Chain A
Amino acid sequence: MEIYDLTAHELAEYIQKGELSAEEVTRAVFSRIHEVEEEVQAYVTLTEEKAYAQARYVDEQRRAGKKLGPLAGIPVGIKDNMCTKGIRTTCSSRILENFVPPYNATVVEKLEAAGAVMTGKLNMDEFAMGSSTENSAFFPTRNPWNLDCVPGGSSGGPAAAVAAGEAIYALGSDTGGSIRQPASLCGIVGMKPTYGLVSRYGLVAFASSLDQIGPFTKDVRDCALVLNLIAGHDPMDSTSVPNPVPDYTSFLTGDIKGVKIGVPREFFGEGLDPRVAEMVRNAIDKLADLGAIVEECSFPYAEYALPVYYIIAPAEASSNLARYDGVCYGYRAVPEKGEKYDIIEMYMKTRSEGFGAEVKRRIMLGTYALSSGYYDAYYLKALKVRTLIKDDFARLFENYDVLVSPTSPTPAFRFGEKANDPLTMYLSDIYTIPVNLAGIPALSIPCGFVDGLPVGLHLMGPAFGEGIILKVAYAYEQNTSYHRARPPLQGREKVKANGKTSGGR
């Protein structure tokens, strides 16, 4: 195994023991990036110099006998919608192509303080709107398992980077499945924590009441370690919850005897690829073998989740994205010589040229849903159904510790396959969206392959039930080997796109 194939906790052990330096690990990851990035295209911006500086600093600290945190010196990639001080943060959009934040997102601050080595900023669907990363204004990211397939989205860059060994772990954001669906399609672990567990400060908002930052990792232990690092109250985020944060690794016991698992039948209906269904059924059987009590159950409002989501998320987005107007920062349309724009023309040209088609579609949907005369029928009704969905989950969690389903109805699909049909694309998140509406945590873990493409098992827990999810996921992982599979990437030896920093390919 190569250094870049190892997990964070494995590497951390080598670093702590002095068997590997942070610099060596960083070098290994960057040489992997230079080897495969041309094929995978996960990064919008690389921060190689900064990464080495941080790695050397961690090594000095270690040599000086300082106690290092569990993730010190480990290379991490950040989705390009989390603000990084002095490093451009684009949301894979033309409108923020040259935006350099003067502040760090809270999670970035936490990573830096813990000695994490940031490799760069990762590609995504523009403003996190999409399920394939084809909506990036710069370039699509490819699935390391099959370069003709999408890595999922919107966090396709983080998922592909971790799967390809271009980062040991990554942070993504999940509004309707944007961590779990790409994790599933790229064969890694991805978790959306409970809404309010991780600070959203510095995460460029798509839909504020649904967005949540979470980890992409190669295994469940890494997931718990990253969660330990990023969870916790932040006074800069009013929606972050002032709860004490447990040590999530303490749940990794391997014992799930008596754990009650519900299988909502509505998550196995029409549209689910039967081969995916089979993998997920097998995984559920495995959980039963391990001593869990598995029961079928019902989630009556499941079918309303998608329409509710496509009212609430665009409504919030239409307001959140209003600030990109060319006045203070970001892209501004410039008139032809001799022409002049008044303020309205400037707004219109800037936003027409600065946003891609999917973003514009959602801004229009959301604006419509909030408009006078339609508000009650759409937005208000959606809020009410959202409450019913929350209640559905609450009722189920009275009887079950976790719920399971497929993460996504299909494995990774081909480029262009769904790009021209938004509704089909939206269905890719049909199992993940209810979780965001309810604000509860969920995780995707590899549970098999279909035609060489990974399939993910979706574990959902009650609010702040990250522990029980991790416990079940860990037990499953310990008794399977999917998490040890690595994509058959050829790489391009000696291809060195050295110092790549521009996204405009």
Chain B
Amino acid sequence: MDSYEAVIGLEVHVELHTKTKAFCSCPNEFGKEPNTNVCPICLGLPGVLPVINEALLEYAIRAGLALNCEIAAFSKFDRKNYYYPDLPKNYQISQYDLPLCRNGYLDIEVNGATRRVGITRVHMEEDAGKLVHGEGGADYSLVDLNRAGVPLLEIVSEPDIRTPEEAKAYLEKLKSILSYIDVSDCKMEEGSLRCDANISVRPAGTDILNPKTEIKNMNSFRAVQRALEAEIKRQCAVWAGGGTVESETRAWDENKGTTVPMRSKEEASDYRYFPDPDLVPIVISPDRVSRIRSELPELPDARARRFTSEYGLSAYDAGVLTASRALADFYEACARNYRDPKLVSNWVTGEFLRLVNARNLEIRDVKLTPAHLVEMLELIDKGTISGKIAKTVFEEMFDTGKRAEEIVKEKGLVQISDEGELSRIVEEVVTANPGVVADYRNGKEKAFAFLVGQVMKATRGKANPQLVNRLLKERI
């Protein structure tokens, strides 16, 4: 397998969270009773006409610019004709030969190296409804058109991706950028980001283009990575066995851990694209593009670079912190108000993210505020609490949203910095552990740590560690 390399291109669909649908005024919302969030237009009733939602255009241009694309001054909508019961008009309004955005790229980092993945095109289209298949071999399916007409972006990468890991990194970066510019929440598990992959393999170091397969039905970033790993293995085995990979569409089977055939290329549809006569051409002025460009927020790569230079963070930590805009905002709100941004980074990438994941939360839903974290760090600086106690305080703050001082008071967690009291405890520990004290005096460094631990235990962790160290050293 090492003698082969993969050639991978990804086709990603993201739902844009505009207020209303792409071509009608239905709210762009989820979770309603089937077929209640619909109107004559998204139902495709006879005689209705689409009118483009200006916000869709705005979001699409924003995304195109964030992905370093050229924005077409002249673009249009086309009809993609195919019959499917979840498609009310039996054509999808999409863009064919004149997409809104072209020739972009994004940079990914894998194993410390940066790679640039080209973006062929980004275009606008409308989503279809959903089929709900009857259960238990029922001979019917139900159609829910709530999603019909929801705006989508299709983002097509160049076949620049070489490994499943890179594919995952590409998706993560794409999600990060699109969330930054606030056009989509990109949740693959919930279907607001969908990904199909085109993949072929070839002898490493050659530029042969072998027949590719298209992989569908992947429901998470991890699934994409696993499916591609499985497909590379399969294709390599076919070539190694003297066979030929067939051009076909395959589905990822999560349970089997393999891809399975869906349909051959001969069955591919002829979509009979043609310009949608109900919609007028899209003309974008250079002024509009520059306005939208000037309104773009700082994007993850630029922000990570700034974090390393401004806050002295490692590239790795900066990358972690800037992957999500909400996390980066949280970090920055703390770092700006605290003397040691690296310490803040340790807390945010450490305890904070640990708890976010453990509690399965979205960052925006976290009760802890940046100001509260700064206050806590200041309590450590003042010696009110120890770094160790701080972890307990932090978790309590995270879960309750209370301020550190309050928690410290409630739970009696104030650090013991009273020399007299600590000296008494040190005396007790030394007296109770003559053997260990002897070991220390004979050069066993570890013995000292044990004694510190005993002091901490006696104070239930509240003793000021620096003070304990000094007092112990003085005593023995």
Among the listed stretches B66-74, B275-283, B360-368, B381-389, which one makes contact with chain A, having 4 or more residues with CB under 8 Å of it?
A: B275-283
Contact of A101 with B91 in the complex, beta carbons under 8 Å: no
Output the least CB separation between A103 and chain B (Å): 5
User: Is B9 an interface position by the 8 A CB rule?
Assistant: no
Chain B 401-435 interface 0/1 with A at a Cβ cutoff of 8 Å (1 = within): 00000000000000000000000000000000000
Contact of B79 with A319 in the complex, beta carbons under 8 Å: yes
Contact of A328 with B43 in the complex, beta carbons under 8 Å: yes
Known: A238-B278, A239-B280, A372-B272. A82 touches B81 (CB 8 A): no
Q: Which A residues are in CB contact (< 8 Å) with B139?
A: 340
Contact of B47 with A371 in the complex, beta carbons under 8 Å: no
User: Is A203 an interface position by the 8 A CB rule?
Assistant: yes
Chain A 95-125 interface 0/1 with B at a Cβ cutoff of 8 Å (1 = within): 0100101110100000000000000000000
B34-77: which residues lie under 8 A (CB-CB) from chain A?
40, 43-52
User: Is B445 an interface position by the 8 A CB rule?
Assistant: no
For B43, give the chain A residue with the smallest CB separation.
A328
Residue of B46, B51, B52, B272 with most chain A CB atoms under a 10 A cut-off: B46
Chain A 202-228 interface 0/1 with B at a Cβ cutoff of 8 Å (1 = within): 111101110000000000000000000
For A91, give the chain B residue with the smallest CB separation.
B46
B245-280: which residues lie under 8 A (CB-CB) from chain A?
270, 272-274, 277-280
Contact of B270 with A323 in the complex, beta carbons under 8 Å: no
Contact of A371 with B270 in the complex, beta carbons under 8 Å: yes
B137-160: which residues lie under 8 A (CB-CB) from chain A?
139, 143, 145
Contact of B48 among A201, A319, A379 (CB under 8 A): A201
Q: Which A residues are in CB contact (< 8 Å) with B145?
A: 328
User: Is A83 an interface position by the 8 A CB rule?
Assistant: yes
Q: Which B residues are in CB contact (< 8 Å) with A426?
A: none
User: Is B90 an interface position by the 8 A CB rule?
Assistant: yes
Contact of A319 with B143 in the complex, beta carbons under 8 Å: no
Contact of A238 with B52 in the complex, beta carbons under 8 Å: yes
User: Is B450 an interface position by the 8 A CB rule?
Assistant: no
Interchain CA distance A204-B44 in the complex, whole Å: 11
Contact of A200 with B49 in the complex, beta carbons under 8 Å: yes
A309-328: which residues lie under 8 A (CB-CB) from chain B?
315-316, 318-319, 322-325, 327-328
Q: Which A residues are in CB contact (< 8 Å) with B83?
A: 322, 325, 347
Interchain CA distance A236-B39 in the complex, whole Å: 13
Q: Which A residues are in CB contact (< 8 Å) with B85?
A: 325, 327, 343
Q: Which A residues are in CB contact (< 8 Å) with B50?
A: 238
A74-106: which residues lie under 8 A (CB-CB) from chain B?
81-83, 89, 91, 96, 99, 101-103, 105
User: Is B164 an interface position by the 8 A CB rule?
Assistant: no
Output the least CB separation between B60 and chain A (Å): 17
Q: Which A residues are in CB contact (< 8 Å) with B143?
A: 327-328
Residue of B40, B47, B277, B278 with most chain A CB atoms under a 10 A cut-off: B47
Interchain CA distance A318-B85 in the complex, whole Å: 17
Q: Which B residues are in CB contact (< 8 Å) with A204?
A: 46-47
Contact of A316 with B47 in the complex, beta carbons under 8 Å: no
User: Is B89 an interface position by the 8 A CB rule?
Assistant: yes
Known: A105-B47, A238-B50, A327-B143. A322 touches B91 (CB 8 A): yes
Q: Which A residues are in CB contact (< 8 Å) with B99?
A: none
User: Is B88 an interface position by the 8 A CB rule?
Assistant: yes
Contact of A323 with B89 in the complex, beta carbons under 8 Å: yes
Q: Which B residues are in CB contact (< 8 Å) with A202?
A: 47-48
User: Is A235 an interface position by the 8 A CB rule?
Assistant: yes
Q: How large is the interface on A (under 10, 10 to 19, 20 to 34, 35 or more residues)?
A: 35 or more
Q: Which B residues are in CB contact (< 8 Å) with A323?
A: 44, 46, 88-90
Interchain CA distance A173-B272 in the complex, whole Å: 27
Contact of A96 among B46, B89, B272, B278 (CB under 8 A): B46
What does DSSP make chain A's interface, helix, strand, loop or mixed? loop
User: Is A370 an interface position by the 8 A CB rule?
Assistant: yes
Q: Which B residues are in CB contact (< 8 Å) with A371?
A: 270, 272
Output the least CB separation between B475 and chain A (Å): 86
Interchain CA distance A343-B51 in the complex, whole Å: 30
Chain B 82-98 interface 0/1 with A at a Cβ cutoff of 8 Å (1 = within): 01010011110000000
B261-308: which residues lie under 8 A (CB-CB) from chain A?
270, 272-274, 277-280
User: Is A135 an interface position by the 8 A CB rule?
Assistant: no
User: Is A329 an interface position by the 8 A CB rule?
Assistant: yes
User: Is A155 an interface position by the 8 A CB rule?
Assistant: no
Q: Which B residues are in CB contact (< 8 Å) with A315?
A: 274
Contact of B279 with A238 in the complex, beta carbons under 8 Å: yes
User: Is A367 an interface position by the 8 A CB rule?
Assistant: yes
Contact of B51 with A379 in the complex, beta carbons under 8 Å: no
A166-209: which residues lie under 8 A (CB-CB) from chain B?
200-205, 207-209
Interchain CA distance A182-B50 in the complex, whole Å: 31
Q: Which A residues are in CB contact (< 8 Å) with B45?
A: 83, 101-103, 329
Contact of A319 with B46 in the complex, beta carbons under 8 Å: no
Chain A 354-394 interface 0/1 with B at a Cβ cutoff of 8 Å (1 = within): 00000000000001001110010001000000000000000
Output the least CB separation between B100 and chain A (Å): 16
Contact of B277 with A201 in the complex, beta carbons under 8 Å: no
Contact of A239 with B278 in the complex, beta carbons under 8 Å: yes
User: Is A237 an interface position by the 8 A CB rule?
Assistant: yes
Contact of A201 with B274 in the complex, beta carbons under 8 Å: no
Contact of A203 with B51 in the complex, beta carbons under 8 Å: no
Contact of B81 with A370 in the complex, beta carbons under 8 Å: yes
Interchain CA distance A236-B278 in the complex, whole Å: 11
Output the least CB separation between B86 and chain A (Å): 9
Output the least CB separation between B126 and chain A (Å): 14
Q: Which B residues are in CB contact (< 8 Å) with A103?
A: 40, 45, 48
Q: Which B residues are in CB contact (< 8 Å) with A239?
A: 49, 277-280
Contact of B47 with A203 in the complex, beta carbons under 8 Å: yes
Interchain CA distance A379-B79 in the complex, whole Å: 14
Interchain CA distance A323-B442 in the complex, whole Å: 91
Known: A200-B49, A327-B85. A319 touches B272 (CB 8 A): yes
Q: Which B residues are in CB contact (< 8 Å) with A327?
A: 85, 88, 143
Interchain CA distance A236-B48 in the complex, whole Å: 9
Output the least CB separation between B263 and chain A (Å): 14
Contact of A82 with B47 in the complex, beta carbons under 8 Å: yes
Closest 7 CB pairs of A and B: A322-B90, A209-B277, A208-B277, A370-B272, A204-B46, A204-B47, A202-B47
> What are 15 of the A-B contact pairs (CB < 8 Å)?
A81-B47, A83-B46, A99-B46, A101-B40, A201-B47, A238-B49, A239-B49, A319-B79, A322-B83, A322-B90, A322-B91, A328-B43, A328-B145, A371-B272, A375-B274
Q: What would 18 more interface pairs be, CB under 8 Å, given A89-B47, A367-B272? A: A91-B46, A103-B40, A203-B47, A205-B46, A205-B278, A238-B49, A238-B280, A239-B277, A239-B279, A315-B274, A319-B79, A322-B91, A324-B46, A325-B90, A370-B81, A370-B272, A375-B272, A375-B274
Instruction: Give B contacts to A, CB under 8 Å.
Output: 40, 43-52, 79, 81, 83, 85, 88-91, 139, 143, 145, 270, 272-274, 277-280
